[in-house]
Structure 1
Amino acid sequence: MIVIAGIVSGAIIGALIAKRRGGKPADLAQHAAAAAMAFGVVAMIATVLIDRLAG
Structure 2
Amino acid sequence: MIVIAAFLLGAAIGWMRAAKAGGNRADKLQYAAAHALALTVLGLFLTIFLTRMG
Q: TM-score, normalised by structure 2?
A: 0.99
RMSD: 0.3
Is 1:23 matched up with 2:26? Answer: no
Report how many aligned residue pairs link the two structures. Answer: 54
Query: Structure 1 segments of 4 or more deviating over 3 A?
Result: none
User: Which secondary structure does the structure 1 equivalent of 2:42 belong to?
Assistant: helix
Quick one: which amino acid aligns to residue 51 of structure 2?
D
After TM superposition, give the deviation of residue 53 of structure 1 in Å: 0.4
Quick one: which amino acid aligns to residue 22 of structure 1?
G
Percent of aligned pairs with the same amino acid: 43
- Where structure 1 has 5 or more consecutive residues not aligned to the other structure, the ranges are none
Quick one: which amino acid aligns to residue 13 of structure 1?
I
- Where structure 2 has 5 or more consecutive residues not aligned to the other structure, the ranges are none
